[in-house]
Amino acid sequence: MGRKAEVQRKTTETDITLAVDLDGTGEHGIDTGIPFLDHMLALFAKHGLFDLQVAAKGDLEVDFHHTVEDVGLCLGEAIRNAAADKRGIRRFGFASVPMMESLATITLDLCGRPYLVFVGDLPAERAGEFDADLIEEFIRALSNEAGLTVHVQIVRGRNLHHSAEAIFKALGRALDEATSIDPRSGQIPSTKGSL
């Protein structure tokens, strides 16, 4: 059956269907109505080797916030559901990814306790119509629903697009490491016996 999950979320602001396979190959089909978010999610899937399908409609005439946040919530819920009781996972993940002049580092713990530390400044600009601060909002929503402790450090960067790419690639790689199965263990990786 595999470690897969599908989530649907319908509110007055968004209508989202999202499916993830933690043991995929990076195949993806993403349409959120926000081209920059689609690009970032494609990078996340490709570099994390997650199969990811996203179809989202949102109140983009208001702004992108509701759609970005709700896609993050759906992705977090799907990851939490696909990981199930987390038996055998590595639990922790780390990646440091350069993109031209930008460098981003992500360290995370799939522990069931949501917490986000976001250190460093993104260039105060837009990528197309996409506001820089929505990147942090997306990761916060993902963290909250997945039960992830996430530390994001923007080490350097002058270009928003490059910095965002580094963040989403690092997020995919770190989460791939955390969700991967350690062949030496069939246990839940916690001295408490549950995550």
pLDDT in single tens digits along all 195 residues of the chain:
589 999 999 999 999 999 999 999 999 999 999 999 999 999 999 999 999 999 999 999 999 999 999 999 999 999 999 999 999 999 999 999 999 999 999 999 999 999 999 999 998 778 889 999 999 999 999 999 999 999 999 999 999 999 999 999 999 999 999 999 999 988 999 988 888
**Residue at 187 is within a domain:** no
Q: Is the dihedral of CA 83, 137, 119, 157 positive or negative?
A: positive
12: CB partners within 8 A, 6+ apart: none
**Residue at 184 is within a domain:** no
**Residue at 138 is within a domain:** yes
Q: Do 16 and 74 form a contact (C-beta atoms < 8 A)?
A: yes
- Domain carrying residue 145: 4-179
Read off the CATH number of the domain in which 11 is found: 3.30.230.40
Q: Which helix (H) or strand (E) holds 112?
A: none
What does each C-alpha distance from 130 to 39, 40, 67, 125 come to in angstroms?
A: 12, 11, 12, 9
